[in-house]
């Protein structure tokens, strides 16, 4: 028992002073004190999260923004600057990045860091420094909340002051009326674990800049939410109409709810990030979208319905007005198309060159014609419905990491791009059948999914694909193929 006690105290900082603890602390402190001041502040903020917690990247950056940790720079948005801070911490190995989709219905987030984690030993150091500097006050499930905690700069209740972050049951939380200068309110415990009466005073928190109610279930915000003129980020369950008065709101996330898109969405002209679940065809969303000229990210988790030629034209025109857009992520686009009249909408549409992610399975040949590396040099993730099996144009994207091609009919890729094509492609998914892979094709490919035509006779079964050619893909560890009309089969390299 004594031996294992020594092993325990030698991991991280433990609870006793010893040589192992001192050496670990010195090494990590060297890395910390070498950081510039703005990164030290952002790193210390991670002490609000419990051990082994997986931290959502975008949510963390928005919290930094709300806290005032991000310093404005000419020509750059606050989120973009915060994303640079995040990447610097990753590059210095202070936090561990995770590539994983935010949304279960989106599978092609390879190459996109969406989460992060802090190593236990690093978190030990961060919490120690944070406590010494009175940066964050942490309550665990064994501590009783007292009135003195109202004076904490940041209060984290783990199982939250300027910042209240709760990952616990509602019984541990005081009334929000205690926190008159609150900047951040994050309720991130188990779903539906918080008392809806807790939000009774939220409309009086006039300094609030960040509101995330991930654990409140189908709660409804009081109409007084419209008084919070400094609110920047709103991740909630139900929308009162008064929210249209929030002129500074930069992030609105309602993708986990069935809320209908409000008709006044275009009034939120400061929005940089908009995440929705679905858009019905009777909505005026495709017209209102064009007013959101600051938008950087658009996500629609289920479907966007477009009604007729007028809706089609409005959709194309609105996308052309999004001059700062970097991410368009739409599960599916349903268009109720009648006879087309006048100009073809997509011939007048411009997709702006900073676009990095485009996922939009949409039956529109005009859109496909706008996809080329000259117009979109930074495109890294692409999902598209195509009408031709030619891969040449896609192979010319130098930054492309994932490619998913949906087909409107049965197609066959004769060649896989050839030498020099697809230099960074890691994931390729297609509804088409494939020719064989030659040496040098898709040199960075890790994952492959395709269709194969199965032909059987009395003796054996054959496929119209040379499986041996997969040996020319040195990094591919797994391939999925769909023997038409059979089920998906999986191939793994030994």
**Is the per-residue pLDDT at 158 higher than 60?**
no
Which residue among 86, 120, 154 closes a domain? Answer: 120
Contact 209, 230 (CB under 8 A): yes
Query: Average pLDDT, stretch 85-98?
Result: 95
Same domain, 160 and 206: yes
**Between residues 25 and 278, which one has the greater pLDDT?**
278
Mean pLDDT taken over the chain: 79
Query: Average pLDDT, stretch 284-312?
Result: 91
Start-to-end CA distance of the chain, whole Å, equals 42
Structure tokens at 335: 């268009």
Same domain, 105 and 27: yes
Instruction: Domain of residue 208: give its range.
Output: 144-259
**Between residues 358 and 243, which one has the greater pLDDT?**
358
Residue 230 lies in a domain: yes
**Is the per-residue pLDDT at 27 higher than 80?**
yes
**Between residues 38 and 262, which one has the greater pLDDT?**
38
Same domain, 105 and 168: no
CATH number at residue 55: 1.10.10
Same domain, 36 and 114: yes
User: Picking from 85-99, 193-207, 239-253, 299-313, which range would have the lowest pLDDT averaged per residue?
Assistant: 193-207
Burial 27-64 (b: 16+ CB within 10 A, else e): ebeeebeebeeebbbbbbbbbbbeeebebbbbbbbbbb
SS3 208: coil
pLDDT (tens digit per residue) in 426-482? 999 998 888 889 888 999 999 898 888 776 666 666 677 788 888 888 888 766 666
Number of structural domains found in the chain:
2
**Between residues 345 and 442, which one has the greater pLDDT?**
442
Q: What is the per-residue pLDDT for 126?
A: 93
Round to whole Å and give the CA distance between 321 and 335.
21
State CA 73 to chain mean position distance: 24
**Between residues 353 and 488, which one has the greater pLDDT?**
353
The dihedral formed by the CA atoms of 213, 216, 218 and 221, expressed in degrees to the nearest 10: -60
Query: Average pLDDT, stretch 2-28?
Result: 65
**Is the per-residue pLDDT at 22 higher than 70?**
yes
Residue 155 lies in a domain: yes
**Is the per-residue pLDDT at 418 higher than 70?**
yes
**3-class secondary structure for 361-429?**
CCCCHHHHHCCCCCCCCCCCEEEEEECCCCCHHHHCCCCCCEEEEEECCCCEECCCCCCCCCCCCCEEE
Which residue among 232, 259, 286 closes a domain? Answer: 259
pTM of the model: 0.82
Residue 194 — φ and ψ, nearest 5°?
A: -110, 145
Peptide bond connecting 485 to the previous residue in cis, omega within 30 degrees of 0: yes
Q: How crowded is residue 326: how many other Cβ atoms within 10 Å of its Cβ?
A: 18
User: In sequence order, what are the residues at sequence separation of 6 or more whose Cβ sits closer than 8 angstroms to the Cβ of residue 487?
Assistant: none
Residue 286 lies in a domain: no
Closest CA to 81 of 94, 69, 89, 70: 70
């Amino acid at each position: 028992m004594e031996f294992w006690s020594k092993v325990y105290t030698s991991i991280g900082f433990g609870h006793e002073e010893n040589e192992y603890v001192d050496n670990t602390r010195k090494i990590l402190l060297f890395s910390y004190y070498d950081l510039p001041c703005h990164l030290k502040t952002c790193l210390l903020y991670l002490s609000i999260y419990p051990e082994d917690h997986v931290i959502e990247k975008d949510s963390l950056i928005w919290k930094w923004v709300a806290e005032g940790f991000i310093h404005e720079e000419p020509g750059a948005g606050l989120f973009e600057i915060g994303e640079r801070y995040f990447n610097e911490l990753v590059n210095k190995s202070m936090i561990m990045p995770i590539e994983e989709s935010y949304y279960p219905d989106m599978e092609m987030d390879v190459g996109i860091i969406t989460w992060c984690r802090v190593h236990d030993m690093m978190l030990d150091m961060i919490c120690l420094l944070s406590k010494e500097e009175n940066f964050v006050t942490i309550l665990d499930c064994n501590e009783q909340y007292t009135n003195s905690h109202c004076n904490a700069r940041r209060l984290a209740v783990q199982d939250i002051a300027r910042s209240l972050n709760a990952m616990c049951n509602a019984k541990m939380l005081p009334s929000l009326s205690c926190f008159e200068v609150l900047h951040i309110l994050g309720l991130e415990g188990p779903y539906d674990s918080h008392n809806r009466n807790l939000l009774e005073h939220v409309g009086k928190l006039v300094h609030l800049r960040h509101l995330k109610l991930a654990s409140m279930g189908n709660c409804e915000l009081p109409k007084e939410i419209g008084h919070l003129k400094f609110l920047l980020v709103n991740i909630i369950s139900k929308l009162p109409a008064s929210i249209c008065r929030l002129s500074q709101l930069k992030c609105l996330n309602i993708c986990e709810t069935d809320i209908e898109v409000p008709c006044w969405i275009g009034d939120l002209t400061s929005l940089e990030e908009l995440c929705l679940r679905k858009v019905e065809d009777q909505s005026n969303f495709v017209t209102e979208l064009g007013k959101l000229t600051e938008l950087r990210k658009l996500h629609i988790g289920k479907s966007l319905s477009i009604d007729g030629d007028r809706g089609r034209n409005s959709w194309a025109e609105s996308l052309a007005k999004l001059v700062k857009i970097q991410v368009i992520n739409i599960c599916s686009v349903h268009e109720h198309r009648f006879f087309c009249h006048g100009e073809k909408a997509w011939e007048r549409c411009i997709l702006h060159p900073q676009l990095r992610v485009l996922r939009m399975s949409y039956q529109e040949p005009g859109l496909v014609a706008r996809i080329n590396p000259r117009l979109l040099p930074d495109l890294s993730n692409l999902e598209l419905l195509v009408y031709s099996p030619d891969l040449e144009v896609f192979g010319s994207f130098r930054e492309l990491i994932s490619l998913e091609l949906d087909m409107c009919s049965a197609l066959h890729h004769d060649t896989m791009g050839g030498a020099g094509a697809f230099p960074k492609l890691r994931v390729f998914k297609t509804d088409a059948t494939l020719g064989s892979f030659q040496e040098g094709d898709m040199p960075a490919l890790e994952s492959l999914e395709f269709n194969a035509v199965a032909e059987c006779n009395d003796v054996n079964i054959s496929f119209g694909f040379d499986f041996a050619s997969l040996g020319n893909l040195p990094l591919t560890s797994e391939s999925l193929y769909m023997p038409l009309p059979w089920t998906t089969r999986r191939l793994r390299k030994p």
